[in-house]
Structure 1
Amino acid sequence: MLSTLWRQRLSFIFLAPFLICFTLFILVPVFMAMFMSFTTYDGFHTPKFVGFDNFITLITQDQIFMKYALPNTIKFAFFVGPVGYALTFFLAWLIYQLPKSIRDIVALAIYAPSMVGGIALTVVWQAAFSGDYVGYLNNFLMKFGFINAPILWLQSPDYFLNIMIVVTVWMGFNVGFLAMLAGFDTVNRELYEAGRIDGIANRLQEIYYITVPSMKPQMLFSSVMAIVGTLKAGAISSQLAGGPVSPQYSGHLILNHVDDYAFQRYELGYASMVSIVLLVISYFAMRLSYRLFGPKEGE
């Protein structure tokens, strides 16, 4: 191995900056979190090994996690993940049908919200869902007679998670959306002509039999970005609620649970365990994406 390293030393020298950063900022924190998940640690005293007690507590005693964090994350991930992903593909396809002269302008208009996330949340959406008469949504609904009194959208647990989903989908047209839009340019136009000769009769069949198989690398990249963006979402709950806890935990996601135990309660061992659970969920979601869009044998 040493002789191989020496023969290829120039390649490893170029790889060294990335490998060092990846080890220090990815591998080391992950292994530290795995170790700390088996301990109880408050940030001041020496970690105390407790075995699987944290995992048992999560399943048997953590009512906030089982009643709010896990169901909310599943619902949030379903609508922001697969539904948002399908919407991203559909919008990218619609924009690609536009003339080239206006296609870039429309794409920029849809992509722009993902670049101004925090500002847009505080300025636009809090004003839109304001619970008084001047809130944009309340004003619109009252003007046309849909409601008689203002609704406290961001203070009501019945609406809060749904609002989170809408805002996240609106902000979800990020680099994955651009990758899909660029992916349509990679499809060989001759395949569509051959498909029509072979019996493809409509645009839906073209998408299913030609476009999607030809765009698998872009589809895979977009799905990975959607999974990462969905499962790491948590700040949106605090930004919309104006505090660390959403109304009656209605917008409490797994990442909010990690932040709660890590930065509010200083139970870093338990927070590390929850983050490892989230990492495992992310891993299986990634495996599903690779199974759906990854290259098959012979491709």
Structure 2
Amino acid sequence: MTALRSLAGFLDRHLAILFLIPGGLCLALVTAYPFVFNLWASLTDLNLMYPGAMFVGLENYTKTIFDPELWHSAKNSLVWTISSVLGQLLLGLIGALALEQTRKGREPFRLILVVPWAFPAIVLAYSWRFLLDAVYGVTNHLLMLVGLIDAPVPWLTTPDYAMPIMVLINIWFGFPFMLVSILAALTMIPAQLYESARMDGAGYWQELRHITLPLIMPVLRSLVILRTIFVFNNFDFIFLTTGGGPVDATTTLPVYAFQVGWQRYDLGRMASVSVVMMLILGLLLATYVYALRKVRAPQ
């Protein structure tokens, strides 16, 4: 009886942990196996053209690091990620603040603004390819009607335009996530704080600086980190829209890894590229966290 009581007491004290163990094991297997396999593959000459794999040490990393394409793709990834995340954050913040002030029709507006987030990437990619097409695209037609351009512009096949256009499309696609998250944070701010501030003579901008932004700053920090991870690793949207072109103008690190592994069949080098990607993303996130910790809520 004593043993049974001890067992029952142990189970009662640790029941939550026992329920979490199966899920934790599954998650560990799903994440650990690909990670370990990728590390192993990056140290071999694994290739789709012939069976087997031989250990080559750091040879793949040497080829990758000294490949100019890698650093060109890394630069594109940083431009793509930082510009997209900042644009999404700014637009999402402005939209959330505007909706928070809206008293009538807030729900329809919120639904309309979330529409871009609801569609799959392939639908959005091919829709924008059609809209921006130099021959059939309605964008060129409208711009010529208002006199902004004299002739159709091949937006997605011109190196100088391709990346800025892709960033703008990504901002349009991703800002609803920021908007909904920030709007949820705004609704959690006690109304009494604003009432007290107004009694002391504070205006809208003073409320925004001293109440709103400080209280939603933790949410903004989390959004920046989460969206940075998502945008940096995004592959499908760029690949479906431009394929990394023209002339590698929109080739980011995920697209470059795909080209190395599935177009050149060099899986070993593709694995090394993915490890380098992880290191670059970790460095970028560490910089973000350091910078965001230095940001003090306005007083």
TM-score bin, normalised by smaller chain: 0.7 to 0.9
Query: In the aligned structure 1, how far is the partner of 2:11 from the partner of 2:86?
Result: 47
Asked if structure 2 preserves the Cα contact closer than 8 Å seen for 1:93 and 1:181, the reply is yes
Aligned amino acid, residue 180 of structure 1: I
1:139 Cα shift?
A: 0.4
Aligned to 1:81: 85
1:119 Cα shift?
A: 4.7
Aligned to 2:154: 152
**What SS does the corresponding residue of 2:160 show, helix, strand or coil?**
coil
Asked if structure 1 preserves the Cα contact closer than 8 Å seen for 2:43 and 2:57, the reply is yes
Q: Deviations over 1:127-157 (max 9, x none)?
A: 210111x421110122223323212222221
- Asked if 1:103 is matched to 2:106, the reply is yes
1:59 Cα shift?
A: 2.5
Q: 1:224–1:9: structure 2 CA closer, same or farther, 3 Å change rule?
A: same
Q: Which has the larger radius of gyration?
A: 2
Asked if structure 1 preserves the Cα contact closer than 8 Å seen for 2:244 and 2:252, the reply is no
Query: In the aligned structure 2, how far is the partner of 1:228 from the partner of 1:177?
Result: 18
1:32 Cα shift?
A: 2.3
Query: In the aligned structure 2, how far is the partner of 1:279 from the partner of 1:64?
Result: 17
Query: In the aligned structure 1, how far is the partner of 2:10 from the partner of 2:138?
Result: 63
Aligned to 2:280: 281
RMSD between aligned alpha carbons? 2.8
Instruction: Report matched runs for 1:247-286 at 5 Å.
Output: 247-286=246-285
Query: Which blocks of at least 5 consecutive residues in structure 1 are unaligned?
Result: none
Deviates more, 1:255-264 or 1:5-14: 5-14
Query: In the aligned structure 1, how far is the partner of 2:183 from the partner of 2:233?
Result: 24
Query: In the aligned structure 1, how far is the partner of 2:10 from the partner of 2:90?
Result: 45
List structure 1 runs of 4+ shifted beyond 3 angstroms: 4-9, 43-47, 193-199, 284-291, 293-296
Aligned to 1:215: 216
Query: Which blocks of at least 5 consecutive residues in structure 2 are unaligned?
Result: 1-8
Query: In the aligned structure 1, how far is the partner of 2:230 from the partner of 2:76?
Result: 15
Query: In the aligned structure 2, how far is the partner of 1:16 from the partner of 1:32?
Result: 23
Q: Deviations over 1:206-259 (max 9, x none)?
A: 223221221244223322331122102222222112xx4421011100110111
Aligned to 2:4: none
Aligned to 1:162: 164
Asked if structure 2 preserves the Cα contact closer than 8 Å seen for 1:126 and 1:240, the reply is yes
Asked if structure 1 preserves the Cα contact closer than 8 Å seen for 2:89 and 2:175, the reply is no
- Asked if 1:54 is matched to 2:60, the reply is yes
Aligned to 2:231: 230
Q: Give the alignment partner of residue 133 of structure 2, picking from 125, 130, 133.
A: 130
Asked if structure 1 preserves the Cα contact closer than 8 Å seen for 2:92 and 2:179, the reply is yes
1:294 Cα shift?
A: 11
Aligned to 1:141: 143
Asked if structure 1 preserves the Cα contact closer than 8 Å seen for 2:186 and 2:212, the reply is yes
Q: 1:191–1:154: structure 2 CA closer, same or farther, 3 Å change rule?
A: same
Query: In the aligned structure 2, how far is the partner of 1:91 from the partner of 1:148?
Result: 34
Instruction: Report matched runs for 1:195-206 at 5 Å.
Output: 195-196=197-198, 201-206=202-207
1:280 Cα shift?
A: 2.2
**What SS does the corresponding residue of 1:171 show, helix, strand or coil?**
helix
Query: In the aligned structure 1, how far is the partner of 2:276 from the partner of 2:84?
Result: 20
- Asked if 1:65 is matched to 2:70, the reply is yes
Query: In the aligned structure 2, how far is the partner of 1:144 from the partner of 1:154?
Result: 21
Query: In the aligned structure 2, how far is the partner of 1:163 from the partner of 1:17?
Result: 45
Query: In the aligned structure 2, how far is the partner of 1:205 from the partner of 1:45?
Result: 67
Query: In the aligned structure 2, how far is the partner of 1:103 from the partner of 1:142?
Result: 35
1:197 Cα shift?
A: 6.0
Aligned to 2:120: 117
Deviates more, 1:153-162 or 1:37-46: 37-46
Asked if structure 2 preserves the Cα contact closer than 8 Å seen for 1:129 and 1:138, the reply is yes
Aligned amino acid, residue 253 of structure 1: T
Query: In the aligned structure 2, how far is the partner of 1:55 from the partner of 1:111?
Result: 42
Asked if structure 2 preserves the Cα contact closer than 8 Å seen for 1:85 and 1:226, the reply is no
